[in-house]
Structure 1
Amino acid sequence: MKHQSNQRQRDAVDAILEQWRIERPDLDASPMGPIGRIKRCAMLLEQRLESGFAPFDLNLWEFDMLATLRRAGAPYRLSPTELFSALMVTSGTMTHRLKRLETRELVERVPNEQDARSMLVQLTRKGLALINRAVEGHVENERLVLSALPADALASLDEHLSMLLQALEAAAGHSGSPHAS
């Protein structure tokens, strides 16, 4: 394990790595550093994102679904299969979530003009207005979160995370998904 730089404060993962260094000096636990930090960042980011959605009476999955429909462009509709594939959830989960958003009148099912046997999911006017407001708040929330990093560090982090994501997706047999909100 590399020695900690004097330029940064110790974090929770440093304490975990130190415990492993003491308990298992024979084990190079250094891979736990980046993975542990990514996992902790993801957990803390999810909490920050959820709190940013609260003023819009949305949670993370609701935002993701509405944002996915919004990004699809006018008329803001997709098939349920396209939705659950983009959001990486099961069809059963998608059915439950669609019902909840339909009850809130944020989405509606409309006939598929290309296939009379199927329906499409479409944003309602209310859903479109809500996601347009919520995405502005979301981007500002993300900007605030990322303001802790200098621009050059942020650009480097983004580049390196992209490389890691590509490697993980290739290993899992996935192509790039437009899921990120």
Structure 2
Amino acid sequence: MTVAATETLQTGNTQEVVTTFASYGSTWALYIALVILMVAIIWYAIRKWHFSIKWLVASIIFAGALTPGHPVDYAETYSPLVLNSVVLLFDGDTAGFLAGVKTIVWVFIAIFAVGLGTWFGFKFWQNKQAQSGNKPAHQNAAAKPSEKKMATPVEPTLGDDSSDTSDKTDKA
């Protein structure tokens, strides 16, 4: 049962308002967008690090923030499992807390493995393309400027004032 935010409630329906609300989908969409924005900002801050370390940090954040779980057994909706697990820990349910942490760790391992596998696959494909002579487009673009014939720069020397002295002698 979904209840509008402005509707008055009777005492028996209070628990349903806690577990469901009108803008549930848009709240999750906003939450996911903010998690992705946070990961993008962190990725930018550590952009010079190796990919595997950046992906480790991103995978930990994605697994911790985006793994869903039911806040209570009778709820129809989901919330981030890390929050549910912390609440269970504060309530004294260490078994529930450890079950939530175990789920988050498995999700992290899956995300990290898929990301690294994709990265290594892409690197393998790039090397295979380079060996076969079919360079990817970004390598062809980088190679073209080096093929251009450019003039050799001439550096001036200290005693090279012949143009200034000839102008002075012509005026006199």
Using the size of structure 1 for normalisation, the TM-score is 0.20
Between Structure 1 and Structure 2, the one with more helix by share is: 2
Structure holding more strand per residue:
1
User: TM-score normalised to the size of structure 2?
Assistant: 0.21
Kindly indicate whether structure 1 or structure 2 has the higher relative contact order, using CA contacts under 8 Å at least 6 residues apart. 1
